[in-house]
Amino acid sequence: MNMNYDLNQMLKKLPYKKQLYIKYKFDLWFGNQGVHSEEDFLRLVDLKTMNTFQRYEKTDEFRHIVSMILASRQANDLLEIYDKVKTKVANKNPDNKDIEMLLKLHKEITFHNNEAKRYFSKASKGQEEVSDGLEI
């Protein structure tokens, strides 16, 4: 499944102010629709301080979101590194340490992305169970 799709689906499950914060924090705005200063962001969410979001950054949910964002950015980074390694190989000057680091990073980011997917899958199943029990 497409990582950007997963990230967008996960963001849709968050309360609106958290969605806006994630977009602000990681510059995930589409086009030029976003805000870039803290003051503008606070006006947008109708708050006076960032305290709420600073506390939010200490939660498991936020850490999993960060993992998914890193995973979604991984493809571009891997392409850039691949091009550099490919150039080194073409010039008969490959560096095994670079290749090894690339593979380790890929494995680590993939692991964290899978953990985040499991976390949000469990969270959404828990919400479905609660809402199923409350049907009238």
pLDDT tens string 36-87: 899 999 999 999 999 999 999 999 999 999 988 888 887 678 778 777 776 7
Q: Higher confidence at residue 119 or residue 123?
A: 119
pLDDT tens string 74-116: 767 877 877 777 676 667 666 787 777 777 877 877 888 888 8
- Asked if the model's pLDDT at residue 16 lies above 90, the reply is yes
Q: Letter for the amino acid at 109?
A: I
Whole-structure pTM value: 0.63
Q: How confident is the model at residue 136 (pLDDT cuts 50, 70, 90)?
A: very low
Domain map (residue ranges) of the chain: 3-125
Q: Higher confidence at residue 7 or residue 91?
A: 7
